[in-house]
Amino acid sequence: MPKPRLRLMIAPGTLHSRGSDRMDFTRYGRSGKPRMTGEELLPTLPELGALADIDVDAGNPQEIATHDELRRLAVKIEKMLKGDEVDGVIFVQGTNSLEETAYFLNLTVRSNKPVVITGAQRPYTGLSTDGPLNLLNAVRVAIATETRGKGVVVVMNDEINAAREVTKTNTYRVQTFRSRDIGLLGYADPDRVVYYRAPLRRHTLDSEFDINAITQMPLVDVLYVHAGCRAGLAEAALAGGARGIVIAGSGAGSTGNLAAEINAIVAAKRAVIVQSSRVGEGRVLRVNNWSEPDMVAADNLPPHKAAILLSLALTKTNDPDEIQNLFDAY
């Protein structure tokens, strides 16, 4: 049988970076050496050719620093997967915002073909780099028939995590990507790729977000609540053009010193306010000690992912109840 056909896409990141020497684990971004291209990566792993026919996307590197750049990336990948010549996509990027890319694509790419995102904690030239095995396992997961229909997945450290739940939990350790209180989907073990569960929230092919109909992502800001948080930040966000604000609340969603201005903004319907939490695990409930009518609860989405869903939701509606339904569904 013919081998699966995969498209390799690359954004700036650690996996394909080159340090000044094998012990350069922290300053490789300033080594002066250019990152490896996809054409340079593939020959270093001849094992990939035994698994799949892989070609490199000509548009590399992909810039993914803003929601609008993610929108353009999603349009490109969806178009790519509609064709018969591509059976799946491998996307390599830096780990700092990897989970945001994964969730955005999970919400917008209408295809049940595999989209697998990977990265690395150590540069390709570093001693004991995790990049080569992460890339190999990403390909193995992409060609596994069980991966189809599970939405966008993240593959690192031999583990498969769902885009919605996965988050970076450690600055330098290779086991950084975890799904905390929900748990991983499965493993890319030496003998085979094995799954134990599937995502239940709506994603990819079942998504109602038509990325091709969106010309610009509405601006959304995230405000972080802490003991020294100053009033006025929410007003500043609105003055800067934000149509929505996500509160990275303390505890179960406290708005802290921002409460008065947030409540006034909600009452005047000047923006949609989503309550999230900075804690990292657990749900924020819509009825809580700090909620007001017409506030939206982020459920267990962290603030940065809640901002992605809110921006997409604002392309469809400004109604808080309808947006709450979207947060409950996705």
Query: In this structure, which amino acid lies at residue 17?
Result: S
| Interacting residues of 19 by C-beta distance below 8 A, sequence separation 6+ | 25, 27, 28, 31, 33, 123, 125, 126
**Phi and psi torsions of 83, nearest 5°:** -80, 155
| Interacting residues of 116 by C-beta distance below 8 A, sequence separation 6+ | 88, 89, 90, 91, 138, 139, 141, 142, 147, 152, 153, 154, 155
Cα 237 from Cα 223, distance rounded (Å)? 9
Q: Which helix (H) or strand (E) holds 221?
A: strand 220-224
234 exposed, middle or buried (CB, 10 Å; 0-12, 13-18, 19+)? buried
- 14 a catalytic residue: yes
Q: What radius of gyration, in Å, describes the C-alpha atoms of the chain? A: 20
SS3 145: helix
Asked if 244 and 310 touch (Cβ cutoff 8 Å), the reply is yes
Strands 5-10, 88-92: pairing is parallel
Residue 309 tokens read as 């869903």
Which amino acids are annotated catalytic? 14
